Structure 1
């Protein structure tokens, strides 16, 4: 199984688009600024003369998809779909590892906690303009975090910490983490969500 999943609907969509391109044209899936908070995923046409020897090739229904060497680890578990609703049709591309390379199971606890924060916790907080940073892991298994953005000064931060973030991290790292603590001083300001 390939690490990039393209749904049947998206494969049909790409097939129709490629029929109108010169013969031999494929698609390219890529990440701009991989491994950073400003990472962006994209899909483009890939003419035959743009295929590099270092590219990874994926075969799909009636077409090929190519991924460059640099983007490859950041596209692990990526999903491309073509969805239609009342508002119309659109291509969706989800790449949970675009901003941060997937860590191995034998990575340090610090690396694994940081990965979960960046790929699972922060995307949820981003809807309110917030984020958290991992400040340290203590010897007794306490993850010390700092709220930022719209979370800083928000009156709901204690609920978010206890019922959301701490619960999620303690479940994910059962037996390794003992608690999650906040070092942020919460001063309400114009930037606060609530």
Structure 2
């Protein structure tokens, strides 16, 4: 699919002026999604050069420039609107991305990373949220190894390893036969153990 992305006239003028200031006339703009399909999902726009592209890249005519994106992110980018507004302190770029957080746009034909994200959001984070915790995909490594990162109440928690093996890994292995192992990529040493079950009450 080709995502429908709209720019206000002020946004088109703003980006065209930014591109005209670049020394390299080949510089273009790229819209991207971070943490797609999760509660942290959001979009951004950055400078980009087509020479750094891959076959997965595509582009649309934004009006005064071509806007590049990754084909696999098209569903998350659909419906994005971009505006450049004047504020009391100057100007601000307002980017609305209604589908960036949506797991609904992920299906069996989606990339493995997106499908893993959907299971994490719908099958696992709904339970971890009871303790203020969350887990998200960090990367997929060679050999089917999936690295995850814990956050919230699971960051620094003494039960994180048990949660990883008994809940997260067991669920992902059930859903995805190509996964061989699930590992924790979180740096728990800088966590504060915000949730630890206690056997005795804490003195006031």
TM-score (norm: length of structure 2): 0.47
| Length-normalised TM-score, structure 1 | 0.49
